[in-house]
Amino acid sequence: MDRPLPDIERLRPAGGKRSSKRDRILSTFVRQEGHLSADDLCDLVRKEDPGIGRATVYRTLQWMVGAGIARKVDFGEGRSRFEPSYRHPRHFHFVCNTCHRSSEFLSSDIESFVEEIALARSFTPAQTVVQITGTCEECRTGRASAPVDGATTALVFARDALRVAIATERSGLEFYTRAAGLTSDARGRSVFQKLAGEEREHLGTLEKRYAELVAQDPLLESRPTFLFFKGAAHGIFAEGTETLGRGVDDQQALLIGIKCERRSHKFFKRYGERFEDSEGKQIFLEFADEEKVHLDLLIHEYRALGERLGSPKPARRAHGKAHRPVHARRRESSARTR
Ligand SMILES: [Zn+2]
Ligand SMILES: [Zn+2]
């Protein structure tokens, strides 16, 4: 598969000399699976153009690291390897002890686990390196799986981002369909029906986009999974649907919807913002926006329903001044003494 290189013109340092040698080294590097040692890159470049010296390749590699095009990785072999970092999402590695090839993945569950522990230890993490060594499928069974190389990484990433978005949309559709069936308040019911309709429409759009993506690469569906977003992939709304099944009133149904949309919006926004520029990033950010619209609508409806019922938060309204929580009164009096 031959895809155009990303804006190499822009990658050149300001005032940097146009160098066809540098361009050739750069394009050889970006087209590879990544994780090349400097010697690997030398061999590849010199196969195409024996006129390029080793020193030039090493120099260019250093420049690429400085310019944010390449990232240095250490697989414990006593020498560094280099992988493309420009528009390449951060990731973890499986490294095969036999063939020394590596494959990449990203797991939101590992990341949030690490964040949770770091928070508990008051540690500010700068970088998480996860490297798992072992034996790859090909070395173990002789069966080669479809590779993910420099040309296909972006497609695989977009494919997985779409899969996560589609799973979320599906679980949302199920949730709103169920909620519409359960809600007795006519206006509340029509809101759930409207949202179910929107989820169905978005689902259609996402599936079409997925089909277009797959059409770009006949092997795309068989390439290994890159994004492991277990929680989201199982559907952020699945838990909410389960709660609905246990029996809830109209207000509770809306609250569960709000909780799910908020979680979904936060999840897609947070990851979308952290990803490198890519179609996968776009997919996440667009999805986050859609979820925000749903969230706002639900919050609005929750308030409106509360007003129709006459007491949105009975617990608070019932309490007079004398019954306000002690900490609230304490805060007031300390404010007065200041
Ligand atoms: Zn192997
Ligand atoms: Zn890598």
Cα 141 to ligand 1 centroid, rounded to whole Å: 10
Q: How many CA atoms lie within 13 A of 175 on its CB side?
A: 28
Cα 131 to ligand 2 centroid, rounded to whole Å: 10
Amino acid at 233: A
pLDDT of residue 17: 52
Strand partners, 105: 92
Cα 72 to ligand 1 centroid, rounded to whole Å: 21
Cα 81 to ligand 1 centroid, rounded to whole Å: 17
Length of the chain in terms of residues written: 338
Specify whether the backbone of 29 is left (phi greater than 0), alpha (psi in -120 to 50) or beta.
alpha
Cα 128 to ligand 2 centroid, rounded to whole Å: 13
pLDDT of residue 313: 52
Question: Which ligand lies nearest to the CA atom of residue 106 in the structure?
Answer: 2
Cα 91 to ligand 2 centroid, rounded to whole Å: 6
Cα 43 to ligand 2 centroid, rounded to whole Å: 20
Exposed, middle or buried, 237 (CB in 10 Å: 0-12/13-18/19+)? buried
**DSSP three-state, residue 94:** strand
Taking the C-alpha atoms of 83, 89, 94 and 95 in order, what is their torsion angle to the nearest 10 degrees? 0
What does 259-287 look like in DSSP terms, one character per residue?
HHHHHHHHHHHHHHHHSPSSHHHHHHHHH
Distances (CA, A) of 209 to 92, 120, 213, 266: 27, 41, 6, 23
Question: Which ligand lies nearest to the CA atom of residue 98 in the structure?
Answer: 1
Name the DSSP class of 13: P
Rounded to two decimals, the pTM is: 0.74
Whole-angstrom Cα distance, residue 306 to residue 294? 18
Do residues 249 and 33 lie in contact, with contact meaning Cβ atoms separated by under 8 Å?
no
Cα 142 to ligand 1 centroid, rounded to whole Å: 9
Amino acid at 238: A
Read off the pLDDT of residues 172-216 as tens digits, 9 standing for 90 and up.
999 999 999 888 888 888 889 999 999 999 999 999 999 999 999
Task: Return the H-helix or E-strand segment holding 96.
Answer: strand 92-96
Cα 225 to ligand 1 centroid, rounded to whole Å: 17
Cα 271 to ligand 2 centroid, rounded to whole Å: 18
Question: Which ligand lies nearest to the CA atom of residue 129 in the structure?
Answer: 2
Cα 81 to ligand 2 centroid, rounded to whole Å: 9
Question: Which ligand lies nearest to the CA atom of residue 143 in the structure?
Answer: 1
Question: Which ligand lies nearest to the CA atom of residue 101 in the structure?
Answer: 1
Exposed, middle or buried, 267 (CB in 10 Å: 0-12/13-18/19+)? buried
Cα 48 to ligand 2 centroid, rounded to whole Å: 24
Read off the pLDDT of residues 257-311 as tens digits, 9 standing for 90 and up.
999 999 999 999 988 888 888 888 999 999 999 999 999 999 999 998 888 887 5
* Residues in Cβ contact with 159 at an 8 Å cutoff, skipping those fewer than 6 apart: 210, 213, 214, 220, 221, 223
Q: With a cut of 50, list the residues of the chain below it in pLDDT.
A: 1-6, 8-9, 14-16, 312, 314-338
pLDDT of residue 238: 86
Cα 280 to ligand 2 centroid, rounded to whole Å: 17
Cα 36 to ligand 1 centroid, rounded to whole Å: 15
- Closest to 104 in 3D by CA, of 126, 76, 132: 132
Whole-angstrom Cα distance, residue 239 to residue 242? 5
Amino acid at 222: S
Cα 270 to ligand 1 centroid, rounded to whole Å: 34
What does 132-153 look like in DSSP terms, one character per residue?
EEE--HHHHHSPPPPP--TTTH
Which backbone phi and psi does 160 adopt, to 5 degrees?
-70, -35
pLDDT of residue 295: 94
Cα 146 to ligand 1 centroid, rounded to whole Å: 14
Sketch out the chain's domains with CATH numbers: 1-86 (1.10.10.10), 153-314 (1.20.1260.10)
Cα 138 to ligand 2 centroid, rounded to whole Å: 18
Cα 15 to ligand 2 centroid, rounded to whole Å: 30
